[in-house]
Structure 1
Amino acid sequence: MSVSNAARTPAPERPGEWSRHAACTDDPDLFFSTFTQLAKKICTACRVANDCHEWIMDVERGQSVHLRFGVIAGLTPHERAVHDPAAPNPTRPPTEPKPKAPAAKKKRRRKLPPPACPSTRAYKHHVRQGEPIDDACRAVYNEERRADRIARQNAKVRALWARGLSDTEIARMAGVGKIVVQRTRDRLGLLPHDTTARAAR
């Protein structure tokens, strides 16, 4: 969705008091990582999921899938765009279910040994099995999440910078501090946009 400099979409409204009871407040970075299914599982059990869904669908109404980030209310950016009638050219689910193919005979799968520690796979295995998590697995998992968070932050800032937004506007729309935007922009080699000069055009 293209937004002109003269009529830019207003900043999203912050969530209400209900957000203090959201399950995602314990580990918000998880919902902007590659562990989508784990994030969805937490959303499913959240007691304010309905309030969260209503809020995010209102905030993102009409936005392209490329401007939506993270798992929110148990939905990925693509899933939220599909359920948004105002989203530009979303891929809609079929109106009629496809006929089911004949069930194939299931092959017995050999039970694989648990993934070796330390690794992210081993960390997720510990979580699924309710096992104690060793420090080495936790460190590998946290480092991968950190790298993934930085990559997503880079992509988010680059996309908003490409729209001609200032650091303040990028920080507001990306939900991060202005200093974070400046450091990310410097890391990517992007020059700041002159808000005054842009407004005069």
Structure 2
Amino acid sequence: MTTSTDTLPAAQRKTTDWRLQGACSTHPDPDIWHATGATTQSRSDLDEAKALCNSCPVRQICQDWALTNREAYGLWGGLTEGERRRILRIRIADGLAEPRKGSRPRAACGTPSAYDRHIKLREPVDDACRAAHARASAEQRARASQQKPASLEALFKAHTKRLYGGHLAWTGPVKPSFKGRSYNPKQVAFIIDRGREPVGRVLNDCGNSECVLPGHVADDSERTPCGTRYGYQRHRKNGEDACDACRKANSDADNRLRRTGTTKQLAA
């Protein structure tokens, strides 16, 4: 049985493994590959990391690996997170790359979803998509004017139904509105259950992507506790300074990824 070199400790892997040849593998401060450029020091760190990447002997391999594996965070092969996302969007639009596994197929033109995609990607909007968007907006306004619930709880009860297996389905508008503010269904479920506004995204963890049962949803603060790499990423997304526990967890995970190909700790 063959064993992938990606899962072996660095001392046991082949000396030809590109990760061992990277400039980042021996650098004393791995945090510079996560600099955002938001401050003077951060811009300095980012410039230093980019300079090291540009002179790295495995820069292209590292860059291709990050694009292929959809690595979401950090500088890889000299490309920032935003630069990689732009390259992937272009490749997907040109048919040179597949959308992320599990993602929904591209909506056909002439639908509200296709209109939203054109706007997001700054593409020209065709007449069919513009007309579909106008119809959907008019229908949404008509539904909203017909029913004005007295509370978020009433809104939630009026637009949900029980499903087999203990799940709860949303049957109302895609973006329900209450007192002049728009929500998504999972946000409504979270607020009426927790009694507070969610932090970041609200997602479910029950395996049914359409479920809005309050007990099956959680926001970023509940899914990504401090002291983990995901907690560090939550700080980044919210524009916060990462706490010491999250910085250490991310540095440890990043070191493992750059040296072994996985963020998971290997068994002794």
Same fold (TM over 0.5): no
More strand by share: 2
TM-score class, shorter: 0.3 to 0.5
Q: Which structure's relative contact order is higher, taking Cα pairs within 8 Å and 6+ residues apart?
A: 1
TM-score of the pair, normalised by structure 2:
0.28
